[in-house]
Structure 1
Amino acid sequence: MAWDILNMIAVMAFAFSGAIVAMSERYDIFGTYMLGLATAFVGGIIRNIALDVPVVHVWEQGIFFYVGIATITVAYFFPKSWVMFMDRWNVYTDAIGLSAFAIGGAMFAMDQGFPLGGVMFAALLTGVGGGMTRDVLAQRRPMVLHQEIYAVWAMAAGFVVGMGWVNLDSVVQMYSLFVAVIALRITSFHMGWHLRFRDFYRI
């Protein structure tokens, strides 16, 4: 149940994020739904392909598909001023999706019996795949390639889960990790933390 709720949060966050980006880029209603659904589900599809496990298509996602559709529908009727405001602060919605999907991806890999490297890889692909797809389709620079630390937090979530430092049966511990990853992503954004090693030496 906790895993399902986490996935639902992730789907809602990324579907909303994709819809907001689509509308800010003046996509029509079809494009808005397509970008919203791609943002919410492509990360999991890429993960399954990379891990060579059966792919669950978008239309086979059950309740999550309908949650994504409903979220995009609500966002589509936002006033233009709201859309522009939400687009400027999309980093927060993206952080929620990143955290939830990274943890969900790590849990999926653990359930499939993958070792630590596979768990971290699954967390990375699930966490950043949807956001990267959204930005590429919207012809924006993907957040994962920004200077601020982004993908590292998804891998860190996978590492914590893979090492068994979080009891996956404990709702408190799972959601504590969820909040921690969000906080780290937002903090790294506002503080400008980055991985530019060239700043530590002179060429």
Structure 2
Amino acid sequence: MSFELLNVIAVSAFAFSGAIVALSERYDIFGTFILGIATAFAGGIIRNIALDVPVVHVWDQGYLFYVAIITISVVYVFPKNWVMFWDRWNIYLDAIGLSAFALQGAAFAIDNGFSLGGIIFSAILTGVGGGVTRDVLAQRRPMVLHQEIYAVWAMAAGLIVGAGLVSVDSVVQTYILFLLIIMCRVLSYHLGWHLRFRDLYRI
């Protein structure tokens, strides 16, 4: 039950984010739906391909596909001034999707019997895949390549789950970690945390 809700949250957040980016870039209705759907489901598809696991196609996602379609439809009818407002707040939507999908990716790897390395890898790919796909299709610089910390939080989620520090069978533990990853991502953005180690050696 915990991951059913997390999947809904993640798909909604990334579909919303993808649609907002599409509208801010003046995509038409077809482009908006394509970008929204790609953002919501690309991470899982990329993960399955990388881990050599059968790919669940977008149209086989069941009710999650309809969650994405409904979310994108709602965004598409937003007034134009709302679009620019939400585009400025996209960091929060992206943080929600990143956290939820990273946990989902870690749980997926555990269910398929992967080792710690596979769990971390799965968390990273699932967490950042949708956002990277969105940014590449929208011709924006992918967040994962920014100097600010991004993929590290997905890796942290995979490491914590894979090391057994948090059990994905526990709803309480899962949602505490979910909120913690969101908080870390948002703080790293606003406080300007980065991984530019070369700055440590400047004179």
TM range (shorter): over 0.9
The one-letter amino acid paired with 1:109 is A
Letter in 2 for 1:21: V
Aligned length in residues: 203
How far apart, CA to CA, are the structure 2 residues paired with 1:111 and 1:20? Answer: 33
* Aligned residue runs from structure 1 range 44-193, under 5 A: 44-193=44-193
Q: TM-score, normalised to structure 1's length?
A: 0.99
Identity of aligned residues (%): 74
Residue identity matched to 1:63? Y
Deviation at 1:168, TM superposition (A): 1.6
CA shift, 1:169, in A, is 1.6
Separation in structure 1 between the aligned mates of residue 43 and residue 168 of structure 2, nearest angstrom:
21
Aligned equivalents of 1:24, 1:84: Cα separation in 2: 6
CA RMSD of aligned residues (A): 0.8
Note the C-alpha offset of 1:64.
0.3
Aligned to 1:199: 199
Q: Which runs of 4+ in 1 moved over 2 A?
A: none
User: Could you tell me how far 1:170 is from its partner in structure 2?
Assistant: 1.2
TM-score of the pair, normalised by structure 2:
0.99
Cα distance in 2 between the residues matched to 1:109 and 1:70: 29
- Residue 9 of structure 1 aligns with which residue? 9
1:33 lines up with 2:33 in the alignment:
yes
- Matched letter for residue 174 of structure 1: T
C-alpha distance in 1 between matches for 2:59 and 2:169: 29
Letter of the aligned partner of 1:94 in structure 2? D
Distance in 1 (CA, whole Å) between partners of 2:75 and 2:175 is 26
Shift of 1:167: 1.7
Equivalent AA in structure 1 for residue 136 of structure 2: V
Structure 2 distance, partners of 1:109, 1:18, is 26
Unaligned runs of 5+ in 1: none
* Residue 202 (structure 1) shift: 2.7
Amino acid across the alignment from 1:39: T
